[in-house]
């Protein structure tokens, strides 16, 4: 969703992308809230966030059937890496950042990550 102000084409994917941003923000605020109020095992907290996040994804997948993926070794390896390792490390780092920074400041700094990645790849 590069230009959210242009709503041409199918509406549902753009709404899902917009709602995912709100979900990310709500999760960040909830994380900050629970970090202040309770002593948390962050790995356990992150695991529950991921379980809560996978439920709507599965429901959406049932409503919007897409072609089946070709399950092979490369696909399973990529799925495991992206779904478990990279996402898990990302969430652990994100919650660590939220300990030190306000949620708004941390979220604004996230916009710099794609720019830094793009410049670094040149």
Predicted confidence (pLDDT) per residue in 9-68, tens digit:
677 777 877 887 888 788 888 888 887 888 878 778 778 877 887 888 888 878 877 777
95 lies in a domain?
A: yes
Range of the domain at 53: 14-120
2 lies in a domain?
A: no
Instruction: Please count the structural domains in the chain.
Output: 1
7 lies in a domain?
A: no
4 lies in a domain?
A: no
5 lies in a domain?
A: no
- Exposure letters 111-121 (e unless 16+ CB within 10 A, then b): eeeeeeeeeee
Q: In the 8-state DSSP scheme, what is residue 4?
A: T
pTM of the complete model beyond 0.85: no
76 lies in a domain?
A: yes
């Amino acid at each position: 969703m590069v230009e959210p102000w242009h709503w041409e084409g199918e509406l549902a994917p753009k709404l899902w992308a917009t709602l995912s941003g709100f979900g990310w923000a709500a999760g960040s605020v909830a994380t900050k809230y629970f970090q202040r109020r309770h002593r948390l095992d962050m790995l356990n907290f992150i695991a529950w966030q991921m379980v809560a996040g996978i439920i709507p994804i599965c429901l959406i997948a049932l409503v919007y059937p897409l072609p089946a993926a070709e399950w092979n070794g490369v696909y399973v390896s990529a799925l495991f890496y992206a779904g478990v390792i990279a996402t898990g490390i990302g969430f652990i780092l994100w919650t660590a950042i939220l300990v030190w920074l306000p949620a708004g400041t941390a979220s604004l700094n996230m916009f710099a990550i794609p720019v830094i990645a793009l410049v670094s790849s040149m």
